[in-house]
């Protein structure tokens, strides 16, 4: 008992080796005053919490360091578990974590949204479990809640969750852990959603950062033909840090990761804060950067074998993806601006968008639902009005691209992969 207690304490202490990160205006800064850019990978080995197996985290963190990663994104954790070993392992490798707070039974639903005490308690528990780790970069209140154009009435509930969780964070005296949202890349909702979640002038209600899950750039491509040029136009002088919370199109393949040169280069680096590559582990969707062994029969069973893929062990780079990404990140080291020289007033809160005929249904700076209110029951009295309707629900990501783009292949693959993950979990 004594030795295990000492081990836990030493692990927890080791996780405080990195400077903390805050969101100021449109940028992330470390507590040392340096601008921080995300070079990340999505890390969810199974539906279970991946941050409880210290040995596995240590093996993966070592190879992630060689890759050049400084951040991981985790979609599902168990707040009741001990995460000190894994958080220490990643901290020792210079790696921060971004964690989704929602769980399989607490998502904000897109078509019948609500935000209640049960959800707040469960999300808060995740915050409680991780707030003491200095390598916690940020927390997501949701991932792709709004997936098609006529689901935008859920947006005020996303904002309500952010309001209450930021209030909880501050009431507990926690540091200003950034709290934000990860969005699907949908032309009919962009840039209205990103503007709405940062509009109104009340920072206590607005997100602290905005992540975009975008698979537009499908190698070989360019800044212009991929559609990134349009994304940059819409992100110019954005009032909170904006970054790619998922990216890495695999069609037609191989992935060259040439998009990293634009994200961290002169075209986008002044407004974007980096990218998280989907994903660490190789599975049926073929997005993996590493594998833990050869593919097995889909019906095979055994320890750490799910869906024909081994989910633990010694990570082995997937060729050529791992090397291609590593080579890019090795040459990318933007310095950005020092916190002491940054004027946060250079970016301003966006105007709240009015509703559109193409599907954005929230009309202006509507009242945010209070805790316990729902849209479907009518208890949310300030129901957003709309001047248009979305009679034909769709997700036309291709509207953002230009002639010659392979965006259809990229987004189709990306959306399929996400659905496969959800199906696997459920």
- Measured CA to CA, the distance from residue 98 to residue 277 in angstroms comes to 13
Per-residue HEC secondary structure of the chain comes to CHHHHHHHHHHHHHCCCCCCEEEECCEEEECCCCEECEEEEECCCCCCCHHHCHHHHHHHHHHHHHHCCCEEEECCCCCCCCCHHHHHHHHHCCCEEEEECCCCCCCCCCCCCECCHHHHHHHHHHHHHHCCCCCEEEEEEEECCCCCHHHHHHHHHHHHHHHHHHHHHHHCCCCCCCEEEEEECCCCCCCHHHHHCCCCCCCCCCCCEEEEECCCCCCCCCCCCCCHHHHHHHHCCCCCCEEEEEECCCCCCCCCCCHHHHHCCCCCCCCEEEEEECCCECCCCCCCCEECCCCCCCCCCCCCEECCEECCCCCEECCCHHHHHHHHHHCCCCCCCCHHHCCHHHCCCCCCCCCCCCCCCCCCCCCCCCCCCECCCCCCCCCCCCCCCCCCCCCCHHHHCCCCCCHHHHHHHHHHHHHHHHHHHC
Residue pair 228/406 in contact by the 8 Å Cβ criterion = no
**Cis, peptide link before residue 254, omega less than 30° from 0:** yes
- Residue identified by tokens 């969780």 is 165
Residue pair 137/97 in contact by the 8 Å Cβ criterion = yes
Instruction: Give helix 54-67 / helix 321-330 axis angle, nearest 10°.
Output: 60
Provide the annotated active-site residues: 144, 246
75 token code pair? 């979609």
- Residue identified by tokens 């205006």 is 25
């Amino acid at each position: 008992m004594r030795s295990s207690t000492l081990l836990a304490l030493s692990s927890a202490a080791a996780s405080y080796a990195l400077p903390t990160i805050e969101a100021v205006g449109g940028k992330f800064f470390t507590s040392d005053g340096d601008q921080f850019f995300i070079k990340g990978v999505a890390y969810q080995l199974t539906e279970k919490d991946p941050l409880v197996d210290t040995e596995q985290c240590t093996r993966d963190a070592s190879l992630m360091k060689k890759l050049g990663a400084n951040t991981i994104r985790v979609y599902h954790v168990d707040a009741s578990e001990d995460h000190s070993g894994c958080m220490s392992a990643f901290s020792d490798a210079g790696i921060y974590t971004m964690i989704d707070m929602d769980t399989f039974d607490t998502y904000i639903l897109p078509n019948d949204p609500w935000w209640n005490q049960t959800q707040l308690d469960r999300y808060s528990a995740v915050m409680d479990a991780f707030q003491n780790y200095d390598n916690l970069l940020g927390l997501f209140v949701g991932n792709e809640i709004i997936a098609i154009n006529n689901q935008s009435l859920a947006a005020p509930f996303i904002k309500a969750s952010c309001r209450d969780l930021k209030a909880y964070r501050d009431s507990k005296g926690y540091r200003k852990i950034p709290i934000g949202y990860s969005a699907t890349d949908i032309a009919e909702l962009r840039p209205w959603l990103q503007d709405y979640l940062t509009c109104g002038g009340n920072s206590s209600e607005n997100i602290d950062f905005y992540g975009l899950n975008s698979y537009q750039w499908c190698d070989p491509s360019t800044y212009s033909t991929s559609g990134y040029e349009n994304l940059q136009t819409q992100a110019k002088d954005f009032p909170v840090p904006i970054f790619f919370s998922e990216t890495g199109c695999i069609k037609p393949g191989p992935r060259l990761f040439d998009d990293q040169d634009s994200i961290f280069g002169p075209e986008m680096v002044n407004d974007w804060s980096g990218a998280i590559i989907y994903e660490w582990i190789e599975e049926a969707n073929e997005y993996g950067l590493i594998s833990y062994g050869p593919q097995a029969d889909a019906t095979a069973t055994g320890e750490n074998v799910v869906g024909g893929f081994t989910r633990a062990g010694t990570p082995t780079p997937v060729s050529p993806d791992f090397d291609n990404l590593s080579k890019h990140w090795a040459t990318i080291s933007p310095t950005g601006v020092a916190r002491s020289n940054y004027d946060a007033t250079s970016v301003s809160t966006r105007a709240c968008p009015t509703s559109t005929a193409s599907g954005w249904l929230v009309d202006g700076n509507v009242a945010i639902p209070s805790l316990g209110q729902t849209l479907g029951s009518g208890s949310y009295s300030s129901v957003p009005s709309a001047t248009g309707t979305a009679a034909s629900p769709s997700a036309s990501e291709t509207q953002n691209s230009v002639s010659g783009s392979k965006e259809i292949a990229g987004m189709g693959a990306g959306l399929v992969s996400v659905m496969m993950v959800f199906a696997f979990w459920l």
